[in-house]
Structure 1
Amino acid sequence: MTTSEPQSRPAAPRPAPTLADEPAAATAEDLLAAVALGDQQAFAQLYDLMSSRVYGLVRRVLRDPAQAEEVGQEVMLEIWRRASRFDRARGSALSWVMTMAHARAVDRVRSEQSSTDRDLKYATQSVQRDVDVVVDAVELSLEKRQVQRCLGGLTALQRESINLAYYSGYTQAEVAAALKVPLGTVKTRLRDGLIRLRDCLGVAS
């Protein structure tokens, strides 16, 4: 009588792993500590965890999506550079990051406003200079016309004496020689002509 070999029993099923058996996810504080040591993988995880929140905050301050995205990238880069400054005893990682993001966004707003103010000031000054040039030209043109009109009200000798003395640079003696009249006559005509010009132009004596 042969004895049969003992049949092997099937192995008992292994219990399914529970959440307690899985490693706990790293917190933002732990990731920052790792980033401070130069851990690029930790930074990638922190980026995925924080970037959307950073962008959302910056977007509410700046309004402009393109600028918000740019500033958001600057904030994440600043986190990489300044992670060693984070002190968990002074607050959470989220608070630290959001404070940094808000400060960056406000700085951008102030910078843009300052640039706008400079551009506006320059434009205003340029316009004012252009206006001043035009006003000066108009005033000069009107003044010349008024002088010409007033000169037309003088006698021929007065007008010629003034033209030679004040517009051609002649001395009184040269005016007398050019007009072939006595020097005393020229002096009298110049004096009387200037008085009439002053009254015509409304110049206070």
Structure 2
Amino acid sequence: MDHLEPVPDGSPAGDPSGAARPEQPELADLLRRSARGDEEAFAAVYDAVASRAYGLALSVVRDPAQAEEVVQEALFEVWRTASRFDARRGTPLGWILTILHRRAVDRVRASEAATRRDRTYHERNQTVSHDATAEAAHASMEAHRVRRALDTLTPVQRQAVELAYLRGYTHTEVAQLLELPVGTAKTRIRDGMIRLRDTLGVGGGR
């Protein structure tokens, strides 16, 4: 997919018969006329290659809506740059489909980059806010020691602490789950973490 060599002129699967399609010399002439601003000539170019261009775009981006957008973008580029076509370097159809292929690959790369950015943003912003005590407890102590320390908490403290630091709920979500005011939930979590710190012998900071 990442190779940008000129695309072959062969019809992709599903492409209609080429019987009604202009021959290469005629297509080259249509491009030359398009370069001079002949809109009717470009309309003929569009009609001649749109189906094949869509098939190629779809094979790369794998999404019908995006494939349509790629075809529109690529053929608009053909209209703007028709004067750059050089028959000595290849066929007109090959030149057009190479532009199309490059556009499709760019679309895939942009989509993949956006997905990576979204994933990174999500991962960075999903971290539950921990105070120093929680970080020390989870980073420095083995799980079984923490579990034993949890047994020293009152039932309401343990419930709040487990929801906040073992299950990842925010203070607001803990309050909603326990049907408590947010301030009360925060107090239970704070008192429970202070008791955990004392039981585990963890300092108040690093």
Shift of 1:140: 6.1
1:50 & 1:33 partners in 2: Cα distance?
16
Instruction: Give CA deviations for 1:70-128 in whole Å, capped at 9, x if unaligned.
Output: 11111111110010111111110011011111000000000000001000000001112
User: 1:64-103, aligned counterparts within 5 Å?
Assistant: 64-103=63-102
1-side partners of 2:43 and 2:71: how far apart?
A: 15
Aligned to 2:194: 144
CA distance in 2, matches of 1:34, 1:59: 29
Tell me, yes or no, if the aligned pair for 2:134 and 2:193 is still in contact at 8 Å: no
Q: CA RMSD in A?
A: 2.9
2-structure distance, mates of 1:39, 1:202: 79
Q: How does 1:101-116 map to 2 (within 5 A)?
A: 101-116=100-115
What CA distance in whole angstroms lies between the structure 1 residues aligned with 2:197 and 2:56? Answer: 69
Q: Which moved more, 1:89-98 or 1:140-149?
A: 140-149
Q: 1:201 is matched with which residue?
A: 201
Between the aligned residues of both structures, percent identity stands at: 43
Structure 2, gaps ≥5 residues long: 1-21, 136-163, 166-188
**2:58–2:67 Cα contact (<8 Å) kept:** yes
Unaligned residue ranges in structure 1 (runs of 5+): 1-23, 150-199
**What is the TM-score of this pair, normalised by structure 2?**
0.55
Higher relative contact order (CA 8 A, sep 6+): 2
Q: TM-score under structure 1 normalisation?
A: 0.56
